[in-house]
Each structure stands twice: as structure tokens, then as C-alpha cells.
Amino acid sequence: MKRRFAFLLAAALIATAPGATAATPDDQLVVGMSMNNITTLDPAAMAGRESTGIATNVYDTLVRLDPIEKTKVHPGLAESWEISDDGSSITFHLREGAKFASGNPVTADDVLWSYKRNVELGLVGAGVWLSFGFTPENFDQYVRAEGNAITITLPEEGDPRLLLYMFGKPDAAAVIDSELAMEHASDGDKGQGWLTTNTAGSGPFKLTNFTANDVIVLERNENYWDDPASMTRVIFRHMPESQTKRLMLERGDIDVGLGLSVPDINALSSNSDVEVQPVPGAGFYYLGVSMKDERFANPKVREALRYLIDYDGINATIMPNYGVERQRPVALGVLGALEDPGYALDVEKAKALLAEAGYPDGFEVELLALNEAPFLDAATAIQGTLAQAGIRANIVTGNGNQVYGPMRERNFEMIVGRGGGGQEPHPHSNLRAMVVNPDNSDDAGLSGVIVWRTSFYDEELNAMAAEALTIRDTEKQADAYEAIQQRLEEVVPALLIFSQVVDTVVFRSDVEDYQNHYGWTTRLEEVHKDR
């Protein structure tokens, strides 16, 4: 029996042995990625790049942000828009004749319902709305529709372009089929339960299968208002192990691999069958300190730390495909982004600064780092250079909860971390995470704001950032952002940046028009295969 089974198995293997052609069909895209962080596909509740990447292709937004030219904005569900002369409001003109995947028409009511739902649920997607001053109470006053014109007025003075960018982000501004969602609502949850694993969008694809940590299937939405998607299906498959993704890419059993580890990316770089696409992404890698700690409240000590990071060495050996060298908290390529100040490892200078601060022999410190690449490697490198000036760092590693948890509670000394906004192509997107601290009291509970966690607070920088948002003249606005970056170097921040995040995607060479988006919103409708 056993022998017969073995024989049959061998026969089957021979019969199905792959030929020279790649294994995936011409009209379907297969993506390998880890789904461990996909807990919901409800745009208002989702957090993280994987769910955003899927929602982007199922839900429409009023506008779309260009993946390359950062300040370019393309029409989405809105055909056109204008910003009022005084910069206090934007009016969008909704496209005629757009339909949801269900066949229901896309109306201004759907748009308003989706936004209000988001603000009222108060989950992750509401964050950006709240930062502009929108609340469930004032929503109806500031967001209005007349026919097909939707007018959004800023509750507080700010930059209307920053507001415009928000309408390209599905977590903040996905337009949901309100009729379909309310059919599935229960206990006044506005469809939240149902939308966790089902979708109600008008984008180029619709969700047909969601099996957590296994497979997600998107099919072409035949009701899509624009040119239909090139692919009939996009299949996302859960592959937590980077090595597995690499092997399947080499064999051509998946077309696209997301989130591969750098050793695997390096191994694939020399393979002519695949393409490696690194794109500067959102956020930074930083060495952060808590200014609740009297040692780090001293600017001399923070400045000493600035000269104890081997920027060139870390970026050359540890960070390739994870990050590119960057020392300022403003993403490369946005308005007013300055060149790096050019800090480098300088142990003598650091020692002198430490002596001035009263720590000629250095001190002991606890350094938190995630127990994965590149955090642990970067922390180890920093530990080595700190030691040269007598600072003895004990590295404590753990998972995200164990590392960022204490930081959120403002209960840490030193950390190597990643974050800092940047999903909108605007310097303020970074500054509101890394520089602007609206309230430095412990009770403020701004644990979502990285700079608040470090207790760094500079009244003048807050004022400068608020001021910069109100400048309408682009050139003057750029100057204002340059001034902010320069002041930040003088006061020495608590977040010492050494790298800007890079997202690297690997795909088969016959995949065309795949363009990874820095804001996690990679669009797949034009992706096709050249076979």
C-alpha cells in the first residue's frame, strides 16, 4: 500500500512538474506577505501598512497622492477641487455616475456619512481629523455638501494643502457605501463588525475572500468608474517567513513579495528574474532619550549623544534596504526639507561635552530596542560607540509592546525606535509626530505623539510650526520650515535621527507598472504582466 502510494505520488510529481513558464496565471497577481498585523479592513479602524495597502485598492478617496512627485495630487472620486482664497476651506466636486461595487451610486451623502462615522468612532483613522480640530460635535458645522459639491472648512487656522492630502488617505477618508454598511450594522456600530472582514467600496477591486492569516482575494470590480483593473484577481497569501517568500519568488510561484528581510533581499538582488524596488518611506529610525531623566534634560548630554552615533557606519552596514541616511525629522523631498547637517562620530567632542555637563566618566543607561533587525543591530552599534565615551548602555530587548509600551508611558531612559509620520507629503506630517508637543504634562496622555513620549518641549518650536501652517506663499512657507529645522538643531532634540525608513518590494521582472507608495497606499489597478 505504502509503496503504491509512493509510486502514485512520484507519478503525480512528474505529471505536474513545472515547465519553463512561471507558475502564476497571466491575469492574476499573487502577493506574498505577512498578515499578522491585519486585524481589520475597516478603514476607520485599521492601523499599519498591510491593511492600508489592501483598503487602498478596494476603497476610493476623493484624491490620490502621487507616489513619486510628492506634492502632486490626482483626482479620485472628486473630479476637481478648489481651495478658497483665504485658505480656510476646500470644495470638492464629486464625479458624476460613479458606483460602488454593490451597484449603489456614490453620493455626497456617502462621503459625509463615511467621514462622520470615522470621527465618531474615534479610532485610528480619526487621528488626523482630530489634529485639525474636527470633533463629532462640530463636524456638521465644518463639513457640508450641496448637490455634488462638498465643502470642508478648517475649524482652526491651518494649511489647506495638508488638509487636501488627508483626502488621499484611506484610513482617514475612504468613502464607504453607507447603504450597504448600514444593512449590516448591529448595536449602533455603524457596520464596524461587518466591515472588519467585508468591504463596501467603489475602488478598482472588491474583496471576495478574507481568511485571516491565510489568504485575501480581491477581484476586479466591474462597476469601477475608471478604466477597469488590468488583473482579474489579486491574491494575497500569508507568508510570515521571509525565506519562504524568497524561495517562492525565485520559483515564480508568487509575483510580489512584501516585507522580506534584508539578507533575503540582498540574495535576490543578483537574480535577473526579479526586481528589487527600494523606496524612501514614511518615518525615521532614531535614538530617543527621555528628558524626564535629568541627565538627558541637559542639552550638553544630548549633544554629546549626537556625536556618539556612527551615522556613516550604521547606514553603510546595517541599514541598506531598511533606511537611508537622514539626520533631520523632515522627509526627503517635501517642502523646505534641508540637507543633512552632516553630523559624524566624534568621540573627543562628545567626551568634552560630557565633562562640561558633569559626567566626565560617563554613566550607566538602559537602552530599549526591538529584538529584530535592524533595531537590535543599530542598538548594538550605538552601544559600542557610547562606550567609547564611557556611557555604559545595557540593551533590553523585547517585542513591540515591551519596547514601545514603556516609552508610551514615558517610563524609559533610552530607545532605538522607528516612527514619525510622513504619510502625507508635507513637513508638518513629520513635525506633528517628532517636534510639536502641544501639552507636556503627564495627564495630557498624548502617547500617540512620539515627541511627547520623550518629554521634549519647546514653546518656540510649537509656535513656529503653527505659524508655518498659516503661510500661503510657498516660498515663505519653505523658509519657515527651514527655520524650524535649524532651531531644532540648536536646542538639540530628544530624538536623534540617523536614518529615514526605506520600504523595499521585490517582484518578478515580468510584473510591470508596480510602483510602491511611500504612504503605504500602493495602487494595483494598472499592474500587469509582460508575457
Partner 1 sequence: MQTRLWNGLTFLGSIAVTLLGLLLLTFVIGRVMPIDPVLAIIGDEASQQAYDRVYQQLGLDQPIYIQFLRYMSEILHGDFGTALLTGKPVIEDIARVFPATVELATLSILIGVGLGVPLGVLAAVRRGKLTDHVVRFLSLIFYSTPVFWLGLIGLIVFYAKLGWSGGTGRVEIFYTGIVQPITGFLLIDSAITKNWDVFWSAARNIWLPATILGLSSMAYISRMTRSFMLEQLGQEYVLTARIKGLSRSEVIWRHAFLNIRVQLLTIVALAYGGLLEGAVLIETVFSWPGFGSYLTSSLMMGDMNAVMACTLLVGLIFMGLNLLSDLLYRVLDPRTRAA
State the residues that interact with partner 1 by CB under 8 A. 2, 9, 12-13, 15-18, 23-25, 28, 30, 36, 39-40, 45, 47-48, 121-124, 126-127, 130, 193, 196-197, 209, 211-215, 217, 235, 237-241, 243-244, 247-248, 250-251, 253-254, 398-402, 404-405, 408, 419, 421, 433, 445-450
Q: How far is the CB of 445 from partner 1 (least distance, A)?
A: 4
How many other C-beta atoms lie within 10 A of the C-beta of residue 97?
7
Give the amino acid at 289. Answer: V
Residue closer to partner 1, measured from CB, 76 or 421: 421
Q: How far is the CB of 36 from partner 1 (least distance, A)?
A: 5
C-beta of residue 433 within 8 angstroms of C-beta of residue 421: yes
Residue closer to partner 1, measured from CB, 3 or 74: 3
Question: What is the C-alpha separation between 410 and 447, in angstroms, rounded?
Answer: 8
Give the amino acid at 153. Answer: T
Q: How far is the CB of 137 from partner 1 (least distance, A)?
A: 14
Query: E strands along 36-138, which residues?
Result: 63-65, 73-75, 78-83, 89-94
Q: How far is the CB of 464 from partner 1 (least distance, A)?
A: 23
Q: How far is the CB of 129 from partner 1 (least distance, A)?
A: 11
Residue closer to partner 1, measured from CB, 89 or 244: 244
For Cα atoms 230, 233, 237, give the angle at the middle one, nearest 5 degrees: 130
What distance lies between CA 252 and its chain's CA centroid? Answer: 28
Rounded to 10°, the helix 427-434/459-469 angle is 160
Within 13 Å and on the Cβ side, how many CA atoms surround 455? 19
Q: Which of 135-140's residues contact partners 24+ apart within 8 Å by CB, and which partners?
A: 139/115, 140/116
Q: How far is the CB of 449 from partner 1 (least distance, A)?
A: 8
Residue closer to partner 1, measured from CB, 150 or 415: 415
Residue closer to partner 1, measured from CB, 353 or 431: 431
What distance lies between CA 462 and its chain's CA centroid? Answer: 24
Residue closer to partner 1, measured from CB, 22 or 98: 22
The C-alpha cell 475612504 sits at 174
Residue closer to partner 1, measured from CB, 239 or 492: 239
Q: How far is the CB of 9 from partner 1 (least distance, A)?
A: 6
The C-alpha cell 485610528 sits at 124
Question: What is the C-alpha separation between 37 and 47, in angstroms, rounded?
Answer: 8
